[in-house]
Amino acid sequence: MVFTFHIPATRMNRSLGPPGPKRKRPESSSQSDSLTEQERILYEVIRSKQDMGIWTRDMKRETNLQDSVVNKSLKVLVAKNLIKEVVNIKNKGKKFYMAAEFQPSKEITGGAWYAEGQLDTALISFLKDFSAKQIQKQRVLTLDVISDLIRRSGVLKVDLAEQQIKDILRALVLDDEIIEVLSTGTGEFASFPVGKVCYKCTSKGARGGEPKTGAFSSVPCGVCPRILLCTPEGVISPKTCVYYNKWLEF
Amino acid sequence: MVSQHGIKFAVHIITKHFGNLVAKVCECLLRRGALTLQNIVRYTELTPTQVKNSLLVLIQHNCVQAFILEEPGGFGDTLRLITQYVVLFDNILHRLRFSKFLALVSLHFDKPCLDLLEGLLQHGRLSLQQMFDRARETEGSNVTLSTVQENLHKLVTARYVERCPIPEPVLEPPSENDVAARKRAAKSKIIVEAETLEQRVVAASFPSDTLRFSVAVNPELNIDCATEHAGEKRKFDALESDIDGGATTEKIILWRANCEEFVRQLRNKACIENVRARLDDDAATVFSAMVEASGSEEKKIKVVNSAPLSVNAIYEEVIKSEKGRNMTFNHVRASLVQLSSQPRFVRVADETYSIDFKNIVELAQNDEVESVVLKRYGRTAYKIFRLLSKDGRLVETDKDLSTPLTQDRVMKISDSIFVEKKESANMLYKLWQDGYLLMERLVAGATQFLLWKVDKQKVWWHFLDEMFHGALNLSLRVAYEIDQRDEILKLREGASKEKRDRLVKVRMLMESSLMKLDDAIMLFHDF
Ligand code: SF4
């Protein structure tokens, strides 16, 4: 099975790295030795915040150092690879720094699905597509099997947490691409124990991926944003309705 | 209780069919509930004769039912008998469905039967003699009374036609138990589907199933005279029963179409099509055989599930149909497995199978609402709405699905379903404003939580009201387009063929859309 999908390595690391900080001491203890007193104070404050990082304004407050000193020191620390700038999902305008040895926490990144402060839509849609196709092909699948298939496909170099695959499946359920069912142990569920949570495709697949259009949503009023304001004799009325004019244009 | 746009739509139908006066009386009853003649006169400010004539029309077309309410009198234990009139909302809506009813009958009956039914639908109620006269008008003088009678019997046996109900059934005042139950329900804030007055009157107006579909006209059978009416004369009497004893002189049996049976058939048809759309033709064949086989057992429309059937009984029915003839026993078994796994159409218990009507109808309702949410508000809204209305689509066990979700939780979930937080927050508010979600504020100490949920009963009610609104608009617009056409044709004798063709197309599209929308209305209102 060949998948021609490439996720840039940098994004991969961010969105797929195992949760929690990677505690590898910086190779450069010598580098931190060569710091000035002020740079050392700043570095310690930043490091003490671990995977939460710290906002530049807060650094200034906590270290009592002058703006210019802080700015200069930050440059030095970044140059020495001791700290890094990170994007905080909650406030993309604020500059945040973190010691290089930590991976940004969920609060900072927005969770496993965020990369550099952005929802990693490329990765998500790839995984959704992949999972949906597998389920379509095999009719009924369980979470374990899907995880396994993703792992064995070899397209992702990092393992996904179980929760992440659940997220993907849930998104597919909410999109009405698949449904979650309990195995009955017979028929198409024969290979799964009774009561096991399984996923199977909805008939929507056969309709070309769009949910069935209802009767009400096929007429202008069903999809009308102004329906609550519309009255027979009012300013917005069926007689003068522009949506109808458009609908009846043929 | 009927929602605001339901009332408006019903009044619109009555205005279109019977004019403003009748519609005024009808609206008065729709808005105020059951009333006496005097009160209708008071509220509508019409003359008593106008009101009486309007009521006669409405009764003739089965849109109003008279009844007598026993009320304790002023002094002592004497009961006062008061004639009141209640409007039958469902029957007003059925007026739109006559073409559907006729189409159903045309599948199994010949032209004379169809004509007979058409006459009943057109005139509301007819006696055998009247039907005979009509038949002679359309088919010529060689039609005999006995052939008309035969056709009538066929339709009555199929339950498509029934005897008219008792003109003025007597209704006892609600018992203390009922009152207590209603109070309890009101306290617990649960909308229980308590029997409405309309339903009680309708129930009281039918003597019994056997009599309702009895074709015997032999007086020796000693049929309860209550089922025999004296045609027009008797009805006038009913209206004046306060004044005159209402003695009947001649007894004529009146007949009418049995809308209940038609709606039941339409429900079956809708369920079969739903199965076909979600599964396949074979499953639909087996399912429709089940519908057939349990048909004679089940006569109500709103049922949870059908009577249980054995595989053998189902198989027997399957091979009766043309499509099922080449299905093997194993084939049928496989389809039954398919039908009984999720989304479930059929329940299995002890090797027997019964149709899960409730679930099928609910699935179809969900589709209808979700389709509107998707097309009106977009994909984010669609996901949020589905998330909140889950109803068993997700078999998560860690949460009680019936409880509302806090804003926080919705955000967390919407996060994991890959919707930007801000977008989902905006969408929650939008959906709430438009009546598609409920929001509750929960204050715990200094913090305030927002709770969100899809309260099916309330949201579905709102949705149905919107559909009535949509149907009304569609119908108004059809009328407007027809007016326009008449104008154009009047203005220019030789209006271009193109223009005329367009108007034909417009009308066809709108009318077929209205019929489809009405299918959806039935899904929520009748099934
Ligand atoms: S008639 Fe037009 S404005 Fe009124 S609800 Fe329908 S689509 Fe909206």
Q: What is the pLDDT of residues A163-190, one digit of tens each?
A: 888 888 888 888 888 888 888 777 778 8
pLDDT at site B156? 92
Name the residue ranges covered by the structural domains of chain B.
Answer: 4-89, 94-259, 261-355, 362-454, 460-525
CB-based pocket (< 6 A), ligand 1:
A 220-221, 224, 226-227, 230, 236, 238, 241, 243-244; B 473
Helix (H) or strand (E) holding B453: strand B447-453
Closest residue of B to A123, CA-based? B418
Q: Contact B370/A211, CB-based, under 8 Å? A: yes
Residue among B26, B36, B20 nearest B6 (CA)? B26
Same domain, A25 and A104: yes
Mutation for testing the A interface, residue in B273, B336, B371 having most A CBs under 10 Å: B371
- According to CATH, the topology of domain B261-355 is Arc Repressor Mutant, subunit A (1.10.10)
Same domain, A24 and A99: yes
CA distance A159 to chain B (A): 18
Binned at pLDDT 50, 70 and 90, residue B185 comes out as low
Which candidate from B278, B469, B516 shows the least CB-CB separation from A203?
Answer: B278
CA distance B400 to chain A (A): 17
pLDDT at site B245? 34
pLDDT at site B188? 47
Three-state DSSP at B261 gives helix
Is residue A216 in a domain?
A: no
Cα–Cα dist B261/B100, whole Å: 12
Low-confidence winner among A108-112, B215-219, B379-383 (lowest mean pLDDT) = B215-219
Whether B15 contacts chain A with CB within 8 A: no
Cα–Cα dist B263/B300, whole Å: 10
The atom number, within ligand 1, closest to the CA of A219 reads 7
Strand partners, B230: B252
Q: Contact B337/A182, CB-based, under 8 Å? A: no
Mutation for testing the A interface, residue in B5, B412, B417 having most A CBs under 10 Å: B417
Cα–Cα dist B289/B304, whole Å: 18
The pTM score is 0.79
pLDDT at site B180? 59
Cα–Cα dist B198/B89, whole Å: 9
Of B304 and A75, the one with more pLDDT: A75
Tell me what the mean pLDDT of segment B486-494 comes to: 66
Question: Is B367:A211 a contact under the CB 8 Å cutoff?
Answer: yes
Same domain, A159 and A234: no
Residue among B43, B46, B48, B49 nearest B20 (CA)? B46
Tell me what the mean pLDDT of segment B296-316 comes to: 77
CA distance A91 to chain B (A): 13
Q: What are phi and psi of B442, to 5 degrees?
A: -125, 115
Binned at pLDDT 50, 70 and 90, residue A216 comes out as very high
Same domain, A73 and A130: no
Q: In chain B, positions 260-289, which contact chain A (CB-CB < 8 Å)?
A: 277-279
Is residue A69 in a domain?
A: yes
pLDDT at site B203? 86
Judging by DSSP bridges, how do beta strands A197-201 and A140-141 pair with one another?
A: antiparallel
A21: pLDDT strictly greater than 50: no
Same domain, A65 and A142: no
CA distance A113 to chain B (A): 8
Of B74 and A39, the one with more pLDDT: A39
Q: Domain B4-89, CATH 3.30.1330.10 — does that match? A: no
pLDDT digits (tens, 9 = 90+) for A220-232: 999 998 899 999 8
Of B383 and B207, the one with more pLDDT: B383
Binned at pLDDT 50, 70 and 90, residue B168 comes out as confident
Low-confidence winner among B48-52, B81-85, B186-190 (lowest mean pLDDT) = B186-190
Binned at pLDDT 50, 70 and 90, residue B415 comes out as low
User: B434: CA distance to ligand 1 center in Å?
Assistant: 15
Q: In chain A, positions 161-190, which contact chain B (CB-CB < 8 Å)?
A: 167, 170-171, 173-176, 179-182, 184, 186-189
Same domain, A71 and A125: no
Binned at pLDDT 50, 70 and 90, residue B80 comes out as confident
Of B394 and B437, the one with more pLDDT: B437
Q: pLDDT > 90: what percent of chain B?
A: 39
pLDDT at site B308? 84
Range(s) of the domain holding residue A89: 13-109
Question: Is A36:A112 a contact under the CB 8 Å cutoff?
Answer: no
Q: Rounding to the nearest 10 degrees, give the CA dihedral for residues A165, A170, A172, A177.
A: 130
Label residue B277 exposed, middle or buried (CB < 10 Å: 0-12, 13-18, 19+): middle
Binned at pLDDT 50, 70 and 90, residue B440 comes out as confident
How many inter-chain contacts (A to B, CB under 8 Å) are there? Answer: 142
Tell me what the mean pLDDT of segment B169-176 comes to: 73
Low-confidence winner among A62-76, B55-69, B143-157, B435-449 (lowest mean pLDDT) = B435-449
- Nearest residue (by CA) to ligand 1, atom 1, is A238
pLDDT at site B226? 40
CA distance A134 to chain B (A): 19
Average confidence score pLDDT of chain B: 81
Domain count, chain A: 3
User: A240: CA distance to ligand 1 center in Å?
Assistant: 9
Question: Is B390:B410 a contact under the CB 8 Å cutoff?
Answer: no
Q: Contact A203/B368, CB-based, under 8 Å? A: no
Cα–Cα dist A124/B397, whole Å: 25
pLDDT at site B470? 96
pLDDT at site B205? 87
Strand partners, B218: none
A6: pLDDT strictly greater than 60: no
pLDDT at site B447? 72
- Nearest residue (by CA) to ligand 1, atom 7, is A221
Q: Which residues, including other chains, have CB under 8 Å from residue A76's CB and lie 6 or more apart?
A: A35, A39
Tell me what the mean pLDDT of segment B321-327 comes to: 84
Q: Domain B362-454, CATH 1.10.150.120 — does that match? A: no
pLDDT at site A67? 87
The CATH number of the domain holding residue A22 is 1.10.10.10
**Per-range mean pLDDT, top range of B274-283, B329-338, B341-350, B366-375:** B366-375
Residue among A44, A24, A46 nearest A35 (CA)? A44
> For residue B331, how many other CB atoms are within 10 A of its CB?
16
Token representation of residue A109: 């990144």
Q: Contact B472/A232, CB-based, under 8 Å? A: yes
pLDDT at site B217? 58
ipTM for this model: 0.78
Q: In chain B, positions 370-429, which contact chain A (CB-CB < 8 Å)?
A: 370-372, 374-376, 382-383, 386-387, 393-395, 415-418, 420
Binned at pLDDT 50, 70 and 90, residue B502 comes out as confident
Which amino acid type is present at position A162?
E
Low-confidence winner among A32-36, B97-101, B355-359 (lowest mean pLDDT) = A32-36
User: A230: CA distance to ligand 1 center in Å?
Assistant: 6
Average confidence score pLDDT of chain A: 78
The CATH number of the domain holding residue A181 is 1.10.10
Tell me what the mean pLDDT of segment B314-330 comes to: 86
Cα–Cα dist B174/B180, whole Å: 10
Binned at pLDDT 50, 70 and 90, residue B296 comes out as low
Q: pLDDT > 70: what percent of chain B?
A: 80
Cα–Cα dist B20/B23, whole Å: 5
Q: Which residues, including other chains, have CB under 8 Å from residue A169's CB and lie 6 or more apart?
A: A131, A143, A146, A178, A180, A199
Same domain, A140 and A194: yes
Of B367 and B237, the one with more pLDDT: B367
Q: Contact B374/A203, CB-based, under 8 Å? A: no
**Per-range mean pLDDT, top range of A41-45, A85-89, B464-468, B507-511:** B464-468
Whether A203 contacts chain B with CB within 8 A: yes
Place of tokens 């005097």: B38
Of B17 and B226, the one with more pLDDT: B17
Which amino acid type is present at position B514?
L
Q: Could you give the angle at which helices B421-433 and B407-416 cross, rounded to 10 degrees?
A: 130
Tell me what the mean pLDDT of segment B111-128 comes to: 93
Contacts B477 to A, Cβ<8 Å: 238-239, 241, 244
